Structure 1
Amino acid sequence: MVDRRHLNTLYVSTEGAYVRKDGENAVVEVDGGERLRVPLHKLGSIAPFGRVTISTGLMAAAVESGIAITHFSDNGRFLARVEGPVSGNVLLRRDQFRVHESEAASANFAAVIIIAKASNQRAVLQRALRDHGDGLDQTARDALHSSVEHLADAARRCLKPRALDEVRGVEGEAARAYFGVFDHLICVKEPGLRFGARSRRPPLDAVNALLSFLYTLLAHDCRSALEGVGLDPAVGFLHRLRPGRPSLALDLMEELRPHLADRLALINRGEIGVSDFRLFENGAVLLNDDARKQVLVAFQERKREEIEHPFLKEKLAIGLLPHIQARLLAKAVRGDLDGYPPMIWK
């Protein structure tokens, strides 16, 4: 029996690509030539970006095999998802809905999520100070140290029982402290790669465009992981119900994105530059096609790195974290664990 938690996502972003089934394989063709062949049993999901065609034969095989196909626009906006019958445990989802309906229970889960998120954001800032703090002026160093303390305080405040709105308020304050110094994480001096403030729909600068694309990839993995353990990705605890929004997937990715998306290594290493972005008339800034492929490759390589899980005390690939955390979240929702153990980087 194949353990689908350990399988990969096939990202297809080449304009005009055609993905078909050949035997027990998914084959990617571009301009009539084969570019990639992947056995279906090694896939957990397929994620086409932009003008990519999926054959009906592959779509049928994917549905039958439990491989979800998630379509995105070329800039990473979610469009549609094709999947087979929901296989989740109805009793688990019932428990999930009960937690969601209880503000106190939701607040408990939300507080743990924010503790992990703030702690991981704090670790990102501390790493920046350690790695290139000597290259910053005193004002920047002071700002980073202040944000580090603010994030530590946010995590401490969530250790005490609080109403859900209070927890969300702490999260908002922590986000402002974190993104308020985010520009100091960027080592390059190129004016076109500065960060002013977080902008989402649409991203209004290059750094926001890169962050938004990486967050899209991570949200996809979190959604797939939640569905894999039988949880409903639309019913969250920190993020509340909103039509079309995978609220629980957004909850799950909060603790993961500081280390999986926010480290900006591609920019700091000079692998992504100003020429890798397109500016549109409405002010939107998006990655171009070649840069998007480069980010996809870097994201997949990052997922292959290994880390010791602080709760399981086991070494595992970073790409498995959404699946591991989804499984732990399901156990906590069912009551098999006293509480949800989030992923906090050491």
Structure 2
Amino acid sequence: MHESGSAVPAGGTGGSPARPRLEDVAARVGLSTASVSLVLRGVPGPSERTRQRVLKAAAELGYRPDRTASALASRRSRLLGVMVDVHSPFHAELVEHLHTAAEEVGYDLVLSALTRTRDENTAVETLLAFRCEALILLGPVAPAATLAELDRKAPVVSVGRRIAGAPLDVVRTADDDGVGQTVDHLVGLGHRAIAYVDGGKGVIATDRRGGYRDAMRRHGLHEHVHVLRGGSTEETGEQTGRRLLDDGPLPTAVVAYNDQSAIGLLTVFRSAGVEVPGTVSVAGYDDDTLSRLSCFNLTTVSQNAREQARQAVTTAVERLDGGRTEPRETVLAPTLIVRGTTTRAR
């Protein structure tokens, strides 16, 4: 797996030992370079005895295939470019599963990071500069028209975000349903005053907010709909928590846009002596690695990161190797994970 912004020299300089070549492996076992190449590429044909001899010699010599030379010769890089938000624990988990899924089908990843000073356009241009054959964009915010234009340069798979008005491949979960399941769970526990901490602008935030509103209305709780300004970080969750404490009577339950926001709420409530879930139940979204820690034990919604990653790689490879041209949207069902931050209404 490669990460943008760093480069590894192809060979040594100065007094460094020369990098072993295919010819060196062939000489060690007394075979042609063509035969050795077949073994190292896993092509059927050579006997099992020959295969073991070649692999043993390659290991002893420390031979590693020159991916750059191979890519130039085949005009294929076999690289999938992934745009990832470095501040998102859920994106980090997705990348781990993407790497496994890509490796299984003979591809590798190049990562390009979104940061507070590095926008989507810069991240994507870096991936194209690395000759990535397809782009897997995690939660992109660019307009649909911009993504459609990008798709003409390399196949684009939008992960997590619904795309309206553009013929693009999408892999996502039904976010409105996921938040709706959370509201259903809380109503089943006797909660009525259920507030929602918003995630800001963007399609994903819009879908989750809509899921909250629809579920509250479905339960006849129109007068209890309360959407609070928020964001996607622990800091914004803390800010919202402090506003709730300052504004008066607390709701009996709060649903947050994501786990990071929910963890910010938990931190503020517990610091103020507010019992969670005794006084206020709190739920998040994403089921990221932090939510599973015993110190948080957060009720949340799983997006099935492993399956999202598998579907994203499959979708990209079908465009590259399978000849598929029609766009496809894959919508996965989210799953509510009930842990220790929700209980019956006080």
Interval of TM-score (by shorter of Structure 1 and Structure 2): under 0.3
Higher fraction of helix: 1
TM-score by length of 2: 0.27
The structure having more radius of gyration, on CA atoms, is 2
TM-score by length of 1: 0.27
